[in-house]
Amino acid sequence: MCFLPRAKAGIHGLDALRAAVAALVVFVLAVLGTAAAAKPPPAPAPIPAFFALCYHNIEDKDPDQRYVGVSSANFVEQLDWLRRNGFHAVSIDDVVAAHEGREKLPDKAYLVTFDDGYESFYTRAFPILKAMGVPAVLAVEASWLKGGPTATVRYGDISEPRDMFMTWDQVREVAASGLVEIASHTFDLHRGIPANPQGNEEPAVVSRRWTKSGGYEDAAAYEARIAGDTAAAVATFKRELGRAPRVTVWPYGEHSRLAIDIQRAHGIPITLTLTDAPANVADLSAMPRHLVKDDPDLSGFIAELHDLSTHGPVRAVQVDLDQVYDPNPAQQERNLGALVQRIHDLQVNTVFLQAFADPQGDGLARAVYFPNRELPMRADLFNRAAWQLRTRAHVKVWAWMPVLAFDFGAAGAGLQHVTAWRPPQTGAAASGASSQSGIDPAQYQRLSPFDPAVRQRIGALYEDLAAHAAFEGLLFHDDAVLSDFEDASPDALKAYEAAGLPGDIGKIRADPALFARWTALKTDALIAFTRELAARVRRLRTPMHTARNLYARPMLDEASRAWFAQDYDRFLASYDLVAVMAMPRLEQVPGDPMAWLGRLVVAARERPDGLSHTLFELQSVDWRRPDAGSEANLPTQELVEEMRFLERQGALNIGYYPDDFLRDHPRAAPLHAAFSLESFPYGQH
């Protein structure tokens, strides 16, 4: 990387350097003004009304992306373009005033932030900000400011000279300007820590530390570590700056509701993330920011701002972790390597990764792939696989989990199961026989969502998943169904009575109005349970997106909603993605399967934002032939044709299941041509 020569005489020795940078700003602005007069940049597509920008290191040439470098010239050009196009730089004071309702933000407001406290903020960025009158937030990691000029700082997995970063004297000077808000970047959490037995180092704020001698730290030790670091940061700010910080900027953007609550308990109400989305003043507890990286030129910068208001297409592969697992750790690593390489080569952006074990293929989770309090752990594998996919294949990983289909064994004795009401047999009613209930063998074996003990046990399992793995979303499995004869368990019947319905399913089914109310109640109960599970995950891992599998029939036939307790419109309002199972063979669709797929796309298009929030999940195996082995694999070309058909019809988000990465099914080459974002990068929506 390239630095301007550092002054050796302290703060005042930099006056000439800062004056030179200010002169450079004036010159660049003059050049830009001349260029703008001759040929103004084209007006961009809609950009959010308020957004936050995240910068790191400002360099003069060849910006080093190890430090997320942006050149001085490009930085000036970006700020100048914003000014000339009517955008208004705001401060944290402005944001807080708007949040409290004391004043409104100006139209087209933006917030400039800098992470890490590089010396380049003082020597390059600060003079530019002063010359242009742009306020900023500067986040400093307090432990990096300790030590003399010969000290070193641990930066990721390398050591850097301490004087690569600012001194407290420099921080005090920029704070005294009134232009810069000094934020905490934690005291000593801007680093990775061992987060699994395989040795992956993951962000310290959200990871449970793993050691060979002690295993994973428990919840109390984790909370104490985060709270202790926060207290150290607050104490350091009070000592060095005379006041506590009111803003925390999360290292790597990683955070959780628990970490946010800890900041608030220490008097820090505002935190900043790296969620790539527009900002708003309604909730300052986790303000999203756009990371400016790869030193974008002006056209690239403008395009990035536009993309803040859009959602790119999702290309998803749903993966069985059972296929990665092997009792031989060396073979398991080879299997994982094959999966990561395949996903990388496919150039998709999302993997729905199985977090539960299902070697029997019956959809009933008797074990999982992460440490937990409730079920046997088949292998500590999910976090390892998820981290490798995120960092090597550069995809977002969503944890695929059942909602109700869990078998807790003897420890689950007393938990209520979903049972189906069985009407009296023909002629039995006349003889006084009563109806019965029992588990329907044709359905998943499920625990009842109306049993509070069930909700607690499954919720604890989801919480343990969040504590021990890094992932971006949850895919709720297709076991979250209740048929038009279910649920007849005792707590379910009590819930119906509490809602004003009869506690007798026979009476409910005999009255169309009651039957409709019952269907809606069950549909909403399942949605509420998945929201409860997501909330438990978000306490330890945010942001956390949600998707839920939807059978295709409720999307096309209103009457069939009662057969599943699933409602497409309610799903659209409740989840980030609705993963409709667009599987014609599974549904035994008569006639032309393409026409049937077209009907699904039409149904999505008819809803506001339906296409942007619906993922069409295709099948690569015919499950009606369970004993056929590889003969049950559908031809790759057939899957490719379905994908291309969906794309032509306007489908935006497409996935498939399953992926046999060990045997190259579906075949990667034709799949890449039809499916990958590299081969088919159609426009944002």
Q: How far apart are CA 492 and CA 439, in angstroms?
A: 14
- Average of pLDDT values for 318-326? 98
- pLDDT at 532 > cutoff 50: yes
Shared domain check, 404 and 256: no
240 belongs to a structural domain: no
Shared domain check, 371 and 284: no
- CATH number of the domain at 494, please: 3.20.20.80
Q: Residue 497 — very low, low, confident or very high, per pLDDT cuts 50/70/90? A: very high
**Mean pLDDT for the chain overall:** 90
Strand partners, 436: 422
- Average of pLDDT values for 195-203? 96
Last residue of a domain, one of 276, 307, 338: 307
- Which of these ranges, 47-51, 126-130, 337-341, 459-463, has the smallest mean pLDDT? 47-51
- Average of pLDDT values for 519-544? 97
How large a percentage of the chain has pLDDT more than 90? 81
Determine contact, residues 509/422, Cβ cutoff 8 Å. no
Long-range contacts of 489-497 (CB under 8 A, 24+ apart): 489/416, 489/417, 489/418, 489/419, 489/437, 489/448, 489/450, 489/451, 490/416, 491/416, 491/448, 491/450, 491/451, 491/452, 492/416, 492/418, 492/448, 492/450, 494/450, 495/450, 495/521, 495/525, 496/521
523 belongs to a structural domain: yes
Last residue of a domain, one of 273, 307, 341: 307
Give the residue carrying structure tokens 């607690």.
456
Shared domain check, 359 and 332: yes
- pLDDT at 42 > cutoff 50: no
pLDDT given at position 432: 47
Shared domain check, 270 and 349: no
241 belongs to a structural domain: no
- pLDDT at 569 > cutoff 60: yes
Find the Cα–Cα–Cα–Cα dihedral 285, 290, 295, 299, rounded to 10°. Answer: -150
pLDDT 10s digits, 379-396:
999 999 999 999 999 999
Q: How far apart are CA 611 and CA 183, in angstroms?
A: 40
Last residue of a domain, one of 269, 287, 307: 307
Shared domain check, 332 and 287: no
pLDDT 10s digits, 138-178:
999 999 998 777 788 887 667 788 888 999 999 999 999 99
- Which of these ranges, 24-28, 180-184, 458-462, has the smallest mean pLDDT? 24-28
195 belongs to a structural domain: no
pTM: 0.90
- pLDDT at 562 > cutoff 80: yes
- Average of pLDDT values for 446-464? 98
Shared domain check, 84 and 130: yes
pLDDT given at position 629: 62
Shared domain check, 411 and 282: no
- Average of pLDDT values for 417-426? 87
148 belongs to a structural domain: yes
**How many helices (H) does the chain have, and how many strands (E)?**
21, 28
Shared domain check, 523 and 668: yes
Helix (H) or strand (E) holding 239: helix 219-241
pLDDT given at position 11: 38
- Average of pLDDT values for 86-96? 97
Shared domain check, 662 and 537: yes
Q: Residue 435 — very low, low, confident or very high, per pLDDT cuts 50/70/90? A: low
7 belongs to a structural domain: no
Shared domain check, 549 and 441: yes
Give the rounded distance of the alpha carbon of 312 from its chain centre. 14
Q: How far apart are CA 266 and CA 504, in angstroms?
A: 53
Number of domains in the chain: 2
- CATH number of the domain at 129, please: 3.20.20.370
- Average of pLDDT values for 496-520? 97
Shared domain check, 324 and 291: no
Shared domain check, 632 and 589: yes
Instruction: Give the domain extent around 635.
Output: 315-424+432-675
- pLDDT at 289 > cutoff 50: yes
- pLDDT at 621 > cutoff 90: yes
376 belongs to a structural domain: yes
521 belongs to a structural domain: yes
pLDDT given at position 47: 81
